[in-house]
Amino acid sequence: MSDRFLVTGGVRLAGEVSVGGAKNSVLKLMAAALLAEGTTVLTNAPEIADVPLMADVLRGLGAVVATEGDTVTITAPAEPKFHADFDAVRQFRASVCVLGPLMARCRRAVVALPGGDAIGSRPLDMHQSGLRALGAHSSIEHGCVVAEADALIGAPIALEFPSVGATENILMAAVLAEGETTIDNAAREPEIVDLCEMLQQMGAQIDGAGTSTLTVRGVERLHPTTHRVVGDRIVGATWGIAAAMTRGDVTVHGVRPEHLQLVLNKLVDTGARVDTFSDGFRVRHDSRPTAVNVSTLPFPGFPTDLQPMAIGLAAIAEGMSVITENVFEARFRFVEEMVRLGADARTDGHHAVIRGVERLSSAPVWCSDIRAGAGLVLAGLVADGVTEVHDVEHIDRGYPHFVEILRDLGAQIERVGG
């Protein structure tokens, strides 16, 4: 049996927390280090379980990787291996982001289809079609993405959906392709901008970061660099929502508030007082939150990664909320666990209707993914009694020092072995 958290409800969170680098950025930056022979250094890396997993993937491709605190040092070889096998990539989805760098450096790649969170299908069609547009042959064979090309040639590419993963892989392949590549309907997330900034430091020529059109002019080679990982907006917002749910007062440092503008506006709509400053924000709430509706969308919309926390907030808010999931079809699996905690919630396709109750009730619940796990812990903070949250290794993959931070904010939570 895996570890579990015991969460005692009824405590108001208060204090300050510093947020480290973004999970959704650091893993892609680690893959990008393969693009240049030599040693690249990433600082402000989060101390989460997925970082050593990605380090193992890179080691399997011939890189030397060392981690110390919040610093990751990656030495990429002159000739990387091109086969990322199943044992290395099966544990987490982000491992597929080595596909673009391997095509750029080796002109061929064999990457086992990855595992990861149970939040719905995330097919690699757009990744493959983007590589094909650059001149590669790509197919799924024996459980692997297999791609190869005599040469990569820049091309206009239009994505059907602003997929973060597809944008990243196509971008990383295009930086060493011949000629110019345009990616229309590209993802605009801050983590994409972070990747573009690191690639530019390595010598890549990229215009349009943060917009829906990226223009890449390929160069012959890149060089290693040192880069600071952007702050984790999802972790930061989790603590802000926790403050609103527990009628608390939490100040978050290390996150750019402009990366969370819509989320912070939603907290204001619940009745919270929100103050922002250059590298963070403060959320205060002293009464029962007011219900608000939320629809998840790609950036700058409400992040799908915060949908479980939005449902937790809606579960104890005054009034009825409608939460619409537009990104991952299976993310509402989490609602079944919220119902176990006494939430009045119903799902219908892409919508969840939640009628807030004054207080939830403790029960044993199970995490299905990183964000669902965090959402269940937040729900446990506003439930009567002690809530047991199982399969918490999911939370370890996205939240560094999760229990310690909550304790510092006043929560009663402990980790016990299975």
Query: Is the CB of residue 309 less than 8 Å from the CB of residue 337?
Result: no
| Number of neighbours of residue 125 by Cβ within 10 angstroms | 11
For the stretch 275-300, pLDDT in tens is 999 999 999 999 999 999 999 999 99
Please indicate if the annotation marks 327 as binding a ligand.
Answer: yes
Q: What is the CA radius of gyration of the chain?
A: 21
Strand partners, 361: 384
- Contact by Cβ (8 Å): 48, 398: yes
| Ranges of CATH 3.65.10.10 domains, the chain | 4-20+231-416, 23-228
396 is in an annotated binding site: no
Structural element, H or E, at residue 274: strand 273-277
CATH pick for 4-20+231-416 out of 1.25.40.10, 2.40.50.100, 3.65.10.10, 3.40.50.300: 3.65.10.10
Q: How far apart are CA 234 and CA 167, in angstroms?
A: 20
Pick out the chain residues at pLDDT < 70: 1, 86, 88, 90-94, 114-123, 329-330, 418
50 carries a ligand binding annotation? no
Encode 180-210: b = buried (16+ Cβ within 10 Å), e = exposed: ebbbebbbbbbbbbbbbbbbbebbbebebbe
**23-228 CATH fold:** UDP-n-acetylglucosamine1-carboxyvinyl-transferase; Chain (3.65.10)
- Is the torsion defined by CA of 82, 181, 38, 22 positive or negative? negative
Query: Per the residue annotation, which of 70, 117, 232, 249 is the catalytic one?
Result: 117
- Cα diameter, the chain: 63
Q: Could you give the CA distance from residue 71 to residue 69 in angstroms, rounded to a whole number?
A: 6
Q: State phi, psi for 306 to the nearest 5 degrees.
A: -105, 5
Backbone angles phi, psi at 377, to 5 degrees: -65, -45
Beta strands in 93-141 (DSSP E): 108-112, 137-141
Spatial neighbors of 265 by CB under 8 A, at least 6 apart, are none
Question: Which amino acid would we find at residue 263?
Answer: V
Whether 207 has a binding-site annotation, put simply, is no
> Cis peptide leading into 300, omega within 30 of 0?
yes
Q: Model pTM?
A: 0.94
Which of 121, 17, 108 shows the shortest CA–CA distance to 61?
108
Active site residue 117: yes
pLDDT at 349: 84
CA angle 45, 47, 52 (to 5 degrees): 90
Measured CA to CA, the distance from residue 196 to residue 271 in angstroms comes to: 37
C-beta separation of 11 from 31 below 8 A: no
* Full strand arrangement of the beta sheet holding 64-68: 64-68, 71-76, 38-43, 226-228
Query: For 361-376, what is each residue's pLDDT tens digit?
Result: 999 999 988 999 999 9
> CA 228, CA 256: separation in Å to the nearest integer?
14
